[in-house]
Amino acid sequence: MQNSFSRRVRSFIVTLLVVFSVCICGAAFAENKESPQIDSNLLNFQNGEGPVRSINIADCTDPVMSGDVQVGTIFCVCQGVAFRVAQLMAEKWSDGVFHVDDVRVVTGWKTEGPEDLFIHRLEMSPDEKKGFSYDKKAQEVTDQTLEDAWYQVTILSTGQKYTFYATEKIYGTADDSGKTMLDYRREVEGGDPTHKAEMKAMRASASKRLITQPFAAGSFTIR
């Protein structure tokens, strides 16, 4: 009788542990969600008590140079991704404005684009504790993969923290040869121009997806 009771107790404890584990895993999974659709190409931002200003994603460009002369501009995918992250974060404030002085941004995407957006256009300070910075372990351009396209954004006044991971809905899927835009980009940046045309074509598609209004839901995973 006692052995039977002990077995029932052990069985009950094991069942509780299994249920608890499932609940914990379910809660962790539930924290990962897709980003919502964005119906605007404008980002409203404010620095301190200054005026609320706006920037259009179409302004996220790099100069095209011929020698020392600028002959045009080209849309910057890296800036565009950072722009959409800022738009998604702006909704975390009740006024729908991205408050430059109330946020810290860290990214694993080590290119000039994020810095151009957050520091040069939105006028964030280059500060690891209360401004914009690159993660210390961020990969160089020649080694970057989709997994490096993340942004961790913290609202300083509340401590709320969000991490945005870009998905294939932005950068695109593999082509018939099994390679993505970022695969070709690593080749080109590493000194092999063989598939530069393919990279440019896929980058143009990524640019279109970023600029298109509305911007597609699920373009980021948020944790």
**Average pLDDT taken over every residue of the chain:** 88
Q: Name which residue leads in pLDDT, 145 or 70.
A: 145
CB-based contact 28:211 (threshold 8 Å): no
Q: What is the DSSP letter of 215?
A: B
pTM score? 0.85
Mean pLDDT across 136-163? 97
As given in the structure block, the two tokens for residue 171 are: 């950068």
Residues 6 or more apart whose Cβ sits within 8 Å of residue 52: 44, 45, 46, 97
Among 48-52, 69-73, 92-96, 125-129, name the one with the lowest average pLDDT: 69-73
210's enclosing H/E stretch is helix 196-211
pLDDT band for position 169 (cuts 50, 70, 90): very high
Q: In this predicted model, what pLDDT tens digit does every residue of 77-136 receive, in sequence order?
A: 999 999 999 999 999 999 999 999 999 999 999 999 999 999 999 999 999 999 999 999
**Interatomic CA distance for residues 94 and 88, integer angstroms:** 13
Backbone angles phi, psi at 7, to 5 degrees: -65, -40
Q: What is the dihedral of CA 93, 83, 114, 31, to 10 degrees?
A: 60
pLDDT of 31 reads 60
Sign of CA dihedral 100, 103, 104, 110: negative
Q: How far is CA 179 from the centre of its chain?
A: 21
